[in-house]
Amino acid sequence: MKRNSLIIAVICAAGLLLTYALDFAPRAPKPPAPQESAKAQCAAANPAPDFTFTDIRGVQQSLSDHQGKIVILNFWASWCAPCLKEFPHFLNAAQEYPDDIVFIAASSDFNAPAMTRFIDKMQREHPKAMAQENVIIFHDENQAITLDLFQTLKLPETILIDRHGGMKSKIIGAEWSYDDLRQDIENMKISAEKTC
């Protein structure tokens, strides 16, 4: 009987050890969360690849030129109805946060006049925002940036890039409100202030 009790005790102890090993034992450290990583150093976590383009004003620039500001990198085309629906929201954001954000819109249009027609329309409807320096539009005619670099096939897609050049999140489609965008921008501002 004593021996059997010992066997039962050993089995119970093994069960408890197993539980401890699976649930409570220290595990290999996980990679630090983005914020913790940023605390340690201000280098970008998840850096956006740099690229160069010429905007519709004829100015050649790079994504890295805008480091220090939050970049809204939007992939769109004039034939994509949801893209046209969300475009004014980005213009509003550029207007509301002129010192904090840069709105870069990469058009995949195969038909340059169609793109120009839409831009003209935006200039009529949002003249102040379209005139701002932080609204940058360029024609990515062969989709070297949209498709090859950022793997964007389903328009519209928008990547939010923090002040250190790190890609923070992606907005897929146009089913979102301006308040959602504003919240994302505020979070990125707070996150940047906290970490550096």
Partner 1 sequence: MMRILLLLLMLISFAPSAQAENKALSYTDFANIPVLHEGRVIPLDIFAATTLETLSGRSHIGTSEASDIFADIIFNPADGAARKIFGLTNETLRTRLKIETPRRALLSLNDLESPIAETRAHVEALLTRDPASFNKDERALLALHSNVSRYIGLMRSLSLILPLNVDVPAHYGEFEENANIAYLDLARFEARIMADLKSLVSRKGEDIARYSGAEKKTALLAYNLQSIRAGGAVNDGLKIMPLKWDAARAQEFQSPWQLILSGQGSPENADYLGLWKGMAMAHRADDAVSWHAASGAALSHITARLAGAYPQTKFTLERLYHNAQPYSIAAFLYGAALLLLLAYALRGVTAAAIAAKYTLLAGAVFHGVAIAMRVMILDRPPVGTLYESVLFVAFICAALGFILSRKNTNALYIFCGSFSALLLLLIAPFISTGSQTLGVLSAVLNTNFWLATHVLCITIGYGVAVMAALCAHGYLIARGWPTLLPKMSADSVLQITYRFSLAALLFTAVGTILGGIWADQSWGRFWGWDPKENGALLIVIWLIWLQHGRLSGHVNAAGFAVGIAALNIIVALAWFGVNLLSVGLHSYGFTSGLAWGLCIFCMVQLGVIGALYLRTHLLEKT
From the CB of 177, what's the least distance to partner 1, in Å? 18
- Considering the complex, state which of residue 10 and residue 42 has its C-beta at the smaller distance from partner 1: 10
Q: Give the burial string for 96-109 (b: 16+ CB within 10 Å, else e).
A: ebeebbbbbbbbbb
Phi, psi of 141 (to 5 degrees): -60, -45
- Binding residues (CB under 8 A) for partner 1: these are 1, 4, 7-8, 11, 15-16, 18-19, 22-23, 28, 31, 48-49, 77, 79, 108, 110-111, 142-143, 147-154, 157, 167, 169-170, 172-173
> In degrees, to the nearest 5, what angle opens at C-alpha 157 toward C-alphas 151 and 163?
90
From the CB of 57, what's the least distance to partner 1, in Å? 24
From the CB of 139, what's the least distance to partner 1, in Å? 13
- Considering the complex, state which of residue 120 and residue 175 has its C-beta at the smaller distance from partner 1: 175
Residue written as token pair 């401890």: 20
Please say whether the beta carbons of 157 and 149 come within 8 A.
no
From the CB of 124, what's the least distance to partner 1, in Å? 25
